[in-house]
Chain A
Amino acid sequence: MEREVATLETGAICCAWNYCGQRLAVGFVDGSISIHDSLDCPAASSSSPSSKWKAHGSRVLNVVWAPPECGDAIACICDDGTFSLWEETEEDTQQPTWKLCKLFESSGSCALDLQFSVFYSSLKMVAAYSDGCVKVYELLDPLELNKWQLQAEFQNVLDSVSRFGKAQCTSASIAWNPQRGESQQTSFVLGFSSDLPQFNSSKIWEFEEAHQRWIPVTELALPGDDGDKVDAVAWAPNIGRPFEIIAVATCKGIAIWHVVLDRESDGRLSTEKVALLAGHDGEVWQLEWDMGGMTLASTGSDGTVRLWQSNINGVWHEQAALDCNGAQS
């Protein structure tokens, strides 16, 4: 049932796969990054990385692949609060090398998570910071990853008028609406784990073309739960459903939300929490939808991968659990 595809070097603390699952970027405790290739080649396990370099002076917190429309590029978030963008280039006869495109310096707050999304020919990047701030950047030149413009900066709160104090956030999770093509809507969902409850709950942010601004269109939390710290969010690919499905993990479990993005007469979005899935004993680390948005995979501090599906009556249940706590190979 399983097959080993890569061995990671000592000190690996985070990793991410590219769009087709063939390349794996690994972040290390000493600030290095390595890339493993051809993960799907059934012939052999990729034991040594194709490249490895020192990206930062200290621990890498997270690595994120940019969409393939930019070539092969990754963002690397470091625990000193900075993050950097790297891309693979190749000149004539030389081996491909990874070069630094841009370093985003820390300005008092640390970057916690960032995600990219392609809109027609432009690339957007949203980054969440430890003070509860969200910054949206736009790439000015589709060929070069070094020219970014800060498009917006806001706090993850519903009330945009009153300013809140600076929050202390320990983690953040962002997921863009994965919809592509003509009907694409510029929106993402974002949740924090912080000491200020207003910042925590997941909110869907949408770009309002008319006023060229980002507005929080809805909150994915029921009254009473809206201060819960958010561990992870994931927006399911929508292959034609009349509603979006978004998974939000908090200490209470993984909530599955149905969101209809077409506004009702009062201008609000219709949201419905259709399930609360429990099973992970402790924190949820990651949520990942499959390509059709039908199965949700989650990982958690109990060392298991759990797979969740809805049956034909719309009832969500745990389909399978993969226990990773055993060492035998």
Chain B
Amino acid sequence: MPGRPSDPGGDAIVPFLPDFREPAFHAVRHGVRPPLFRVYVSWSRGSLLHVACLRQPSTEPADKGEDEEPGGKVVEVRLGAGEGGISEAQRRRIAYGSAHSFALLQTQKNSLMAVSRMSSSSFHGEWWQHVLEYSSSISELLVTRRIPSNTIIEDPRMIVQTLEEPTNLKAAWELMEIFFVDKQSSAWLPERLVDWLEDYDSLLTTTESTVFSKLVGMQKELDNLKVIEDDPDYWEGMSSALAVGWLDTVVRLLRLHGSYQLDQLDNREAENGLVEAVSFLISKMPRLRPDLPSEKLGQCYKTKTEFIKAWEEWRGQINSLECSAFWVQCGHHQTREGLQKLLKIMSGNISNLTSTTCHWMELLVSHFLYIRPFMVGLEGINSLARKCRQLKPTPHYNGLMSLLIGILEESPEVVLAECSKSFGPWMVAHGVELLTAGSDHADILLHEERYNLGGISIEELHRLVYAQVLSSHPLTWQIVPTYLASCLKHGVCLLEILLYKQPIQHQQVVLKNLEICQLYELDYISQNIMKIAGMYHWKHGRKGFGIYWLQLAHDEVRLNRIAQQLFECIGKSLSDDSFKQWEGLIELLGTQMGSSGGLEFLHKYRDFKRSLKQVEDGRAANAARQAAESLIQLMRSPSTPQRFWLPLLHDSVKLLNWKAQPLLSVSETNLLLTKLQELSMAKQRPDFVDANLPPHALSSVRLALATNLGRAILEEC
């Protein structure tokens, strides 16, 4: 193959690296039988690609049979869509909602920068606040509500039920928020991760089991079990749920224990007491966090000292329960074992934690809960996470986990790459704000201008890419300017290209286009759009509308050409009815194009024709005088083209021979005579344009002028 990347000695300046990621390969379904004669492509809007596949044309004459194969098909290929497991409509909803938050944040950034000039520490303090608000408003948008089930009464056996459909996108966004933005809660970062895992445990992996999948499996079995506490899965599920801190789930499960049933109480008092004691300890677990939602169990402590005190006391209670004599009275073997395992988990037994959790992230969270509740600092968390990954190896990390690893390893490059690869351009364009707020390293990395990128920063590049994606859809291109306005270097130019590529035959689109141009002061492109609209309408039989747009575009070149066309048209048939057809256009042209000489002429000419018509209709004296005045004005005006002189004069013969009185003075008649003389001299020149007038026209004008002159002299004597 010529020039294959692997060719040694190929003259590629940048040779392909052997470990380069293989390009995504996609088979286009188009229905044209191969071999193809030709493939054509064209970028439609944004990142939409039109592909035309043409079949080899047959040499035989085409017969018009019914089953004739088409000559080719055109398909539209949407590139870079379908990330994050989100529907098209949902994606659009997010696009619209996030545009507002994004714009607000940019405004806040600009005003903050204007005040503090980026240097003072107050900027950072306030900035975080804004980014946090932005982050939560976006997070709110990403919620996908689950349709509530039909049952209104809460089923005590329903152990895994969420109102929100967890999406990878929201999970990823929250991870970014936890680590990069929410500085206030950095002291209880472990607890935030516990909460995060509770919401998104189901997304950790799709191929292996998780605590969530275990509980879902158990949920299915629950209805078939008569004696729940005999089932090892029941105890196993509870241990796992406890290990990751789902206290309320564990307590709810414990309450399903058979010893609670009324008919059992007498025989199983001690057993029931132990179950209740464990569930009490679980519900009183001290947590280092400011608050807990009301339905959640545990005791919150805001300060470390208070927490340590409570923690030691709680651990003491666990120890004393473990050593309690009541265990002997508990006859049910599984219950005894199961409860003791729960106690071991609560006292932080590593082997129990490791065996009851499934995924490394779950193991990490169990460490936070029961072994190292004071863990702060990414470095420590990262080394712990690495150990957990060694203990619970996974052959493949999904996008969410790769993102988390990137965050823990403090590598903005990986975070960015994962955001882009797994969650698409929306995530990158919006997530960059969180990333840069979170670390100086990321801030420098993302804001540094790079020659390779054409002088822009990575942040701007990703905004441009997202803008292109938005421009792919007729319902989202309108929000593109919001993003391009924040791209200081390349945004305006891309916006101009985008606006230029909008179809102008739809009036609504043109108006929207112009509105955007006005907002962003894009005069050049707005003029261009108006020109294109003008030409479109002019060519498509709506001449008045065409002129209207060309006037708005101040397109003097084209308007003058139109005026020229009008002259030519009028020049050919001065007294023809077709003048009526043009009259409106002259009117239109006249309103703003005063500076153009040609149009001035057309206006005067129109006045002249009107008066002349009135003369012909018999409305004599005044009209005749007006017509004569217009004639003189026309003949005096330097903008009246020479080739109109004779037709004008010929039209005015009637005025010159006006019976009641000579309408023109001596000087005026002399002016006309001079013009006539100039005209007869010009006739000798090669570029002279002859008007289509009868051959005697010149002589009849000459005679009429002489008559008028004679009468005027007599009059003026």
- By a beta-carbon cutoff of 8 Å, the part of chain A in contact with chain B is 1-17, 19-22, 24, 26, 28-29, 36, 39-40, 68-72, 87-92, 94, 96, 121, 141-143, 180-182, 222, 224-225, 237-243, 251-253, 272-276, 278-279, 281, 285-286, 288-292, 294-295, 297, 299-300, 303-307, 310, 312-329
**In the complex, B456 has a CB within 8 A of chain A:** yes
A5, B75: Cβ atoms under 8 Å?
Answer: yes
Known: A278-B5, A305-B49. A286 touches B454 (CB 8 A): no
Q: List 27 A-B contacts (CB under 8 A).
A: A3-B76, A8-B52, A24-B74, A88-B540, A91-B541, A142-B561, A143-B561, A143-B562, A237-B497, A238-B493, A239-B493, A240-B492, A242-B451, A253-B3, A274-B13, A276-B11, A278-B7, A279-B5, A290-B468, A291-B501, A305-B41, A321-B24, A323-B26, A324-B53, A325-B35, A327-B31, A328-B29
Assuming A143-B538, A281-B1, A291-B497, is B52 touching A24 (CB within 8 A)?
yes
Q: Which of A222, A276, A292, A324 contacts B51 (CB 8 A)?
A: A324
> Which of A7, A143, A238, A307 touches B558 (beta carbons < 8 Å)?
A143
Residue B372 lies at the interface, judged by CB distance under 8 Å to chain A: no
Query: If the complex has contacts A143-B558, A314-B14, are A21 and B74 also in contact, measured as CB distance less than 8 A?
Result: no
Neighbouring B residues of A278 by C-beta, 8 Å: 1-5, 7, 10, 12
A1 touches B4 (CB 8 A): no
Which residues of chain B from 464 to 521 have a CB within 8 Å of any chain A CB? 464-465, 468, 471, 474, 489-490, 492-494, 496-498, 500-504
- For the complex, what is the distance from the CA of A253 to the CA of B11, rounded to whole Å? 10
In the complex, whether B89 has a CB less than 8 A from a CB of chain A is no
Q: Which of A2, A29, A310 has the most CB of B within 10 A?
A: A2
Quote the shortest CB–CB distance from A225 to chain B (angstroms).
Answer: 7
Within 8 Å CB of A9, what residues of B?
A: 70-71
Choose from A19, A143, A325 the contact partner of B36 (Cβ within 8 Å): A325
A219 to B37, CA, bound (A): 32
Interface residues as binary, B53-94 with A (CB distance below 8 Å gives 1, 0 otherwise): 111011000100000111111111111011000000000000
B452, A141: Cβ atoms closer than 8 Å: no
Q: Does B157 contact A (CB under 8 A)?
A: no
Q: Which 7 A-B pairs have the closest CB atoms?
A: A329-B31, A241-B454, A314-B452, A21-B44, A253-B3, A12-B71, A71-B539
Number of A-B contacts (CB under 8 A): 330
Q: Does B565 contact A (CB under 8 A)?
A: yes
Q: Are B11's CB and A251's CB within 8 A?
A: no
Q: Closest residue to B561 on the A side, CB-wise?
A: A143
CB-defined contacts of B315 to chain A, threshold 8 Å:
none
- CB contacts (< 8 Å) of B41 on chain A: these are 286, 288, 297, 299, 305
Task: Known contacts A10-B62, A252-B3, A291-B501; decide if A4 and B30 are in contact (CB<8 Å).
Answer: yes
Check B489–A240 contact: CB distance below 8 A.
Answer: yes
**Given pairs A5-B75, A316-B14, 18 additional interface contacts (CB within 8 A):** A10-B70, A12-B54, A13-B54, A15-B40, A16-B42, A19-B501, A40-B45, A69-B532, A69-B535, A90-B539, A92-B541, A251-B2, A286-B39, A294-B464, A305-B28, A307-B79, A322-B77, A325-B35
**In the complex the two chains form, what is the Cα distance from A292 to B490 in whole Å?**
9
By a CB distance below 8 angstroms, the chain A residues around B47 are 290, 295
How far in angstroms is the closest Cβ of chain B from A156?
A: 23
Contacting pair A273 B536 (CB below 8 A): no
Q: Which A residues lie within 8 Å of B38 (CB)? A: 13-14, 285, 299
Nearest Cβ on chain B to A184's Cβ, whole angstroms: 10
- Known contacts A68-B535, A72-B539, A323-B26; A8/B39 CB under 8 A: no
Across the interface, B32 reaches (CB within 8 A) one of A222, A251, A327, namely A327
Q: Are B50 and A39 in contact (CB under 8 A)?
A: yes
A4 interface neighbour in B31, B453, B539, Cβ under 8 Å: B31
Interfacial chain B residues near A253, Cβ < 8 Å: 2-3, 10, 12
Closest to B455 in A: A242
Query: Quick one: given A15-B52, A278-B7, A291-B498, are A5 and B2 in contact (CB under 8 Å)?
Result: no
Instruction: Tell me the complex Cα distance, A277–B678, Å.
Output: 70
Chain B residue total in the interface (Cβ 8 A): 108
B540 and A90 form a contact (CB under 8 A): yes
Candidates A21, A69, A224; contact of B50 at CB < 8 Å: A21
Query: Which of A17, A96, A328 contacts B31 (CB under 8 A)?
Result: A328
- B450 to chain A: which residues have CB within 8 Å? 312
Name the distance in Å between A112's Cβ and chain B's nearest Cβ. 16
Are the C-beta atoms of A11 and B535 separated by less than 8 Å? Answer: no
Inter-subunit contact A294/B14 (CB<8 Å):
no
Which A residues lie within 8 Å of B688 (CB)?
A: none
When the two chains form the complex, which single residue of B3, B5, B37, B536 contacts A68, counting CB atoms closer than 8 Å? B536
CB distance from B22 to the nearest CB of A (A): 9
Across-interface contacts of A295 in B (CB, < 8 A) = 47
Determine how close the nearest CB of chain A comes to the CB of B257; give it in whole angstroms.
Answer: 52
From residue B127, how far is it (CB to closest CB) to chain A in Å? 25
Chain B min CB distance to A296 (Å): 10
Closest to B17 in A: A315
Q: Is the CB of B23 within 8 A of A275?
A: no
CB nearest to B461 among chain A residues: A312
Which of B54, B454, B500 has a CB less than 8 Å from the CB of A8? B54
B512-534 Cβ-contact flags toward A at 8 Å (1 or 0):
00000000000010001001100
Given contacts A143-B565, A240-B489, A278-B2, contact A2 B29 (CB under 8 A): yes
Q: What CA separation (Å) do A310 and B10 show in the bound complex? A: 19
Q: Please tell me if the beta carbons of B70 and A303 are within 8 angstroms of each other in the complex.
A: no
CA distance A252 to B452 in the complex (A): 24
User: Shortest beta-carbon distance, A189 to chain B, in Å?
Assistant: 19
Which residues of B have CB within 8 Å of A222? Answer: 11
CA distance A295 to B531 in the complex (A): 29
CA distance A276 to B249 in the complex (A): 60
A240 touches B490 (CB 8 A): yes
Is there contact, CB below 8 Å, between A96 and B540?
Answer: yes
Instruction: Give CA–CA (A241, B449) in the complex, Å.
Output: 11
Task: Report the separation of the CA atoms of residues A11 and B455 in the bound assembly, to the nearest whole angstrom.
Answer: 47
Q: Which residues of A contact B37 (CB under 8 A)?
A: 13
Given the complex, which residues of B lie within 8 Å of A329, measured CB to CB?
29-31, 73
B23 adjacent to A2 (CB under 8 Å)? no
The answer to whether A276 and B10 touch (CB under 8 A), given A7-B70, A39-B74, A240-B489, is yes
Return the chain B residue nearest A311 by Cβ. Answer: B452
Given known pairs A20-B502, A305-B49, the reply for A292 and B11 (CB within 8 Å) is no
CB of A240 within 8 A of CB of B52, answer no
Is B454 touching A5 in the complex (CB atoms < 8 A)? no
The answer to whether the Cβ of B636 comes within 8 Å of any Cβ in the partner chain is: no
CB neighbours (8 Å) of A286 from chain B are 39-41
Identify the closest chain B residue to A3 (Cβ). Answer: B76
Q: How far is the CB of B468 from chain A (nearest CB, A)?
A: 6
A171 CA to B503 CA in the complex, in Å? 32
Is B468 a contact partner of A225 (Cβ separation < 8 A)?
A: no
- Chain B residues with CB under 8 Å of A141's CB are 561
Q: Which residues of chain A have C-beta atoms less than 8 A from B32's C-beta?
A: 327
Set of chain B residues within 8 Å of A310, measured between Cβ atoms: 452
A303 touches B453 (CB 8 A): no
In the complex, the chain A residue whose C-beta lies closest to that of B489 is: A240
Q: Write out the residue numbers on chain A whose beta carbons fall within 8 Å of the beta carbon of B7.
A: 278
Residues of A within 8 A of B373 (CB): none
Among B13, B31, B68, B71: residue with most chain A CB under 10 A: B71
Nearest CB of B to A153, in Å: 26
Inter-chain contacts of A91 with B (CB < 8 A): 541
The one of B57, B70, B75, B453 that contacts A312, using a Cβ cutoff of 8 Å? B453
